[in-house]
Amino acid sequence: MGRDISFTHRTSMTVERWHRMLDDASERRDLPRLYRENLIEAADDMLRSGIIDPLEHFDLLELAESAYSHEIEEQIVRHRYFLRSGSYVLVRDGAALGYLSGTAFNWKPPEKRWSASQIDARVTHTDIGLELLNRSEESIGRIDGKRCITPTGEYELVEVSRMIRGIELRAIDDPDLYRAALDAIQLAKEEGDTERHAALSTRASVSIFMTCPACDDSFRKREDCAECGGLGFVRETPERFRWRS
């Protein structure tokens, strides 16, 4: 179905056409803000033209806002962990069984591939989310939060590095280093150094750990926290990631 977002004669807008715009999943997925703005503009135009009354106009705006909000919430949960600037391994039962670098996916590690350009699939944004599509455009899996779900089973998606401002940062996997990062973030916050706080928070986000969801690294709560054992942070698992999202 072609996109109805762009139209020259606004007076040709009808309620039926507006609903076709509302149902345009590709526009909603790829350009959610523009999707909402054009729905609002089209509804406003119909109101001015007398095609709908104020109550109907209100209902259309509610539908547009609801569709937009739902899309944003879905993208946060499904896609927030995967970043094109990141490199990941797919882990199951402690073993790395797949590799993602940007959008390129391979089952074999770099040293076992016959060519550096060998790619088994690419991460593609489709109507159902982030899918792994092979050269034949067939889906061999999908990414849902911190999970990669394939016909052969589920894998944990673990970030190992990320490119930030042209620099590749390795994921923090040492608990002492992560604790030091959290302390530095807290100090920057207390000193009102917003720039350093933001930079440190970004760096700490490239890690296999996350702030404890139970005590939130609160000095008062973490000592007796059963979830993190007093550390203030925990290993980030798919279940904990979904809770945080």
pLDDT, mean of residues 108-136: 82
| Higher-confidence position of 81 and 184 | 184
Which tens digits make up the pLDDT trace of 211-238? 998 999 998 899 899 999 999 999 988 8
pLDDT of residue 85: 85
Token pair, residue 47, equals 């109101």
Give the whole-angstrom CA distance, residue 86 versus residue 77. Answer: 17
In whole angstroms, how far apart are CA 117 and each of 105, 106, 114?
Answer: 11, 10, 9
- Cα 36–39–45 angle (5° rounding)? 140
pLDDT of residue 77: 58
First and final CA of the chain: distance in angstroms?
A: 32
| Higher-confidence position of 8 and 201 | 201
Give the whole-angstrom CA distance, residue 157 versus residue 147. Answer: 5
Give the whole-angstrom CA distance, residue 233 versus residue 90. Answer: 22
Q: Is 113 a residue whose pLDDT tops 90?
A: no
Sign of CA dihedral 163, 26, 241, 146: negative
Give the whole-angstrom CA distance, residue 114 versus residue 61. Answer: 54
pLDDT of residue 7: 38
Which tens digits make up the pLDDT trace of 128-184? 788 999 999 999 999 988 889 999 899 999 999 999 888 999 999 999 999 999 999
Quick count: other Cβ atoms within 10 Å of Cβ 142? 19
